[in-house]
Amino acid sequence: MKKLDRIDRHLLALLQQDARLTSHELAERVGLSPSPCARRIRRLEQQRLIQRYRAELDRERLGLGMTVFVHVKLSRHQDALVEAFEAAVADMPEVIECHTVSGAFDYLLQIVSADLKGYERWVRQLQTLPMVNTVDSSFAIRAVKRAGALDLRDARPSDDES
Amino acid sequence: MKKLDRIDRHLLALLQQDARLTSHELAERVGLSPSPCARRIRRLEQQRLIQRYRAELDRERLGLGMTVFVHVKLSRHQDALVEAFEAAVADMPEVIECHTVSGAFDYLLQIVSADLKGYERWVRQLQTLPMVNTVDSSFAIRAVKRAGALDLRDARPSDDES
DNA sequence: ACCCATATTGGCAGACCATGCCAATATTTT
DNA sequence: AAAATATTGGCATGGTCTGCCAATATGGGT
């Protein structure tokens, strides 16, 4: 697999900020002509370094201004229960993000809902899962930085298949 | 401001998953013809319900597989210091997300770096800020769900200006 | 129930952008 | 230095978007 050069990194950085830039605009900014520029982008897509393109919506304007970070501990850690928990969580549309984490808790989740009522509905639903032990809610008061772009300075593609 | 109808919600949901769908493809899926479809999308953009379009990169493949959740407490909460902290954090490219939160800590941050060494560099940098009291790191072991789409069932646009 | 005002729709023409090839240039290897 | 390889830049083609039009659907008022 090829190493990323300065231009590839530049393209990724630009597309991270605005996926609607045309090949011509991108070409100007990185100092290339549109053709090789489009080609490099196609390669980045095929290498899956670019996963997908998506529209980013405004939560506040959509009336989905409530963000909650939830720490969860399970009571039993048998494989089947862990998998059931993760599958259930992945299927809940209110769950924007979920990671297993080190430390005092097993999972950290980010929940988005319209209001407290919606959040309570979700928590109730979560509590019905039998392997859930503790649920610790921390409400987001204000977003200082949201959906920041990845810092590509240290990025080096791992050699996977195509 | 107009209320969102079923088609608007459907369009937002589709574009959240794939911003590269053409007007024609979108039109088919929502049961409309391309023209009004494109028009509705333009309106959603002008209303800023669609904030922007961005390319989503693959952290693992880029060699940026380390995600850390960091709880921060400040020692002094004078306005100037709080603002200085937030400005500093917003300017750090390793910081993907930062929220003020309720509970035992003041801030919850998501950090992405290539490896532990990169993370340590960032923590050191953070510790140089004089108003920082405690820094509590929780390493992400595995992502169960990442960048989930917003659930639009309860979405109702807040009446802002255009 | 009717009619009018408004908003939305569907299709078409022109401009824009992306894709696939070509020869030409730069880079690397032997 | 010479050959092989990879990358570049430009052009023609095809697809997509944009701005208008008349036609249809929607909603309000009498």
* Closest residue by Cα to residue A44 from A92, A2, A94: A2
Q: What is the pLDDT of residues B136-160, one digit of tens each?
A: 999 999 999 999 999 999 999 886 6
At B36, which amino acid appears?
P
pLDDT score, position B112: 98
| Kind plus residue range of the DSSP H or E element containing A109 | strand A107-113
Confidence of residue A159 (pLDDT cuts 50, 70, 90): low
**Where do the domains of chain B lie?**
6-46, 66-139
Residue A59 has pLDDT above 80, yes or no: yes
Query: Across the interface, which of A15, A57, A145 has its CB nearest the CB of B12?
Result: A57
Between chains, do A12 and B55 touch, taking CB under 8 Å as contact?
yes
Tokens matching residue B117: 């060494």
**CA–C1' distance A48–C29 (Å)?**
30
For B46-156, where are the E strands, in sequence order? 50-57, 66-74, 95-101, 107-113, 132-145
Per-residue pLDDT at A100: 98
Name the least confident of A51-55, B10-14, B112-116, B156-160: B156-160
B98/A144 CB distance under 8 A: yes
Nucleotide nearest to A25 (CA to C1'): C17
Q: Are B36 and A131 in contact (CB under 8 A)?
A: no
Q: What is the DSSP letter of A123?
A: H
Whether residues A155 and B64 touch (CB distance < 8 A) is answered with yes
Chain length of chain A: 162
- Give me the residues of B, 104-133, that contact A with CB < 8 A: 105, 107-108, 112-114, 118
Residue A71: which residues within 8 A CB-CB, separation 6 or more?
A104, A105, A107, A108, A109, A134, A135, A136, A138
So what CATH class is B66-139?
Answer: alpha beta
pLDDT of the residue at A139: 98
Suggest the residue from A97, A105, A153, A161 to mutate for an interface test with chain B (most B CBs closer than 10 A): A97
- What percentage of chain A reaches a pLDDT higher than 90? 93
Q: B6-46 sits in which CATH class?
A: mainly alpha
CA–CA min distance B19, chain A (Å): 4
> How confident is the model at residue B162, as a pLDDT?
45
Q: Which of B63, B147, B158 sits opposite A60 (nearest CB)?
A: B158
What is the average pLDDT score of chain B?
A: 94
> Which pLDDT tens digit goes with each residue over B83-115?
999 999 999 999 999 999 999 999 999 999 999
Can you tell me the mean pLDDT for A40-68?
Answer: 96
pLDDT single digits (tens) B27-36: 999 999 999 9
